């Protein structure tokens, strides 16, 4: 439906815990569509609602040609781990190795409120964990060891985008009849 601006590191919405979705309505379907369009346009392996300024527990993913979404996720993680490169659309051009569970079982809902279980390993497991962290106000740099986090923050401070003012996007609470956001 629409490609929305992605919030960058430093935006307070990225550090807040998102609220549970309770209404599975047209507005939620529009949000999932906007998240998917924005993620694919970026492109990225995943995108969480807080990254476009919406404080709801919703994310999308695109891994290995599979595109999906999950609402109100609950994760069960394997004891086996993987250590590999991770990046984030809210931290452009930053990629640092991060420790994650090797396999994940994610239970939640689809955009119609039907129960949904997604199982994945490797990159899909990494994407699901990363996006679920966003819903809890956690960024992947928070999961790095002290030395890696220090290096990540150095790269962030040197990035061209760091400190740029984010545009304020206001969404009308009233039907717009297709005009405006």
- Which pLDDT tens digit goes with each residue over 100-120? 999 999 999 999 999 999 999
Distance CA 180, CA 141 (A): 35
Whether residue 44 is predicted with pLDDT greater than 50 in this model: the reply is yes
Check residue 174 and report its DSSP letter: S
Kindly give, in sequence order, each residue whose CB lies less than 8 Å from that of residue 39, ignoring residues fewer than 6 positions away: 46, 47, 60, 61, 62, 89
CATH code of the domain made up of 12-158? 3.90.45.10
- Of 131, 151, 160, 165, which residue is the catalytic one? 131
- Which pLDDT tens digit goes with each residue over 144-162? 999 999 999 999 998 888 8
Q: Check if 131 is active-site.
A: yes
- The pTM (predicted TM-score) of the whole model is 0.88
The pLDDT score that the predictor gives to residue 66 is: 94
- Residue matched to tokens 């994650």: 100
Domain boundaries, the chain: 12-158
Provide the token pair at 51: 């990254």
CA dihedral 141, 119, 135, 97 (to 10 degrees): 10
Is the Cβ–Cβ distance between 140 and 98 less than 8 Å? yes
């Amino acid at each position: 439906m629409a490609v929305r601006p992605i919030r960058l590191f430093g935006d307070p919405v990225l550090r807040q815990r998102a609220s549970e979705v309770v209404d599975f309505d047209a507005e939620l379907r529009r949000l999932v569509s906007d998240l998917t369009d924005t993620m694919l346009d970026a492109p990225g392996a995943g995108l969480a609602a807080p990254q476009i300024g919406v404080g709801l527990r919703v994310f999308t993913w695109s891994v290995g040609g599979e595109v999906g979404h999950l609402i109100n996720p609950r994760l069960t993680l394997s004891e086996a781990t993987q250590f590999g490169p991770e990046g984030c659309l809210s931290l452009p051009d930053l990629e640092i190795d991060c420790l994650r569970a090797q396999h994940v079982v994610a239970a939640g809902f689809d955009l119609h409120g039907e129960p949904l279980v997604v199982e994945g390993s490797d990159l899909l497991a990494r994407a699901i964990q990363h996006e679920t962290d966003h819903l809890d106000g956690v960024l992947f740099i928070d999961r790095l060891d002290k030395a890696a986090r220090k290096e990540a923050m150095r790269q962030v401070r040197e990035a061209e985008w760091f400190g740029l003012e984010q545009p304020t996007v206001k969404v009308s609470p009233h039907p717009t009849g297709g005009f405006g956001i």
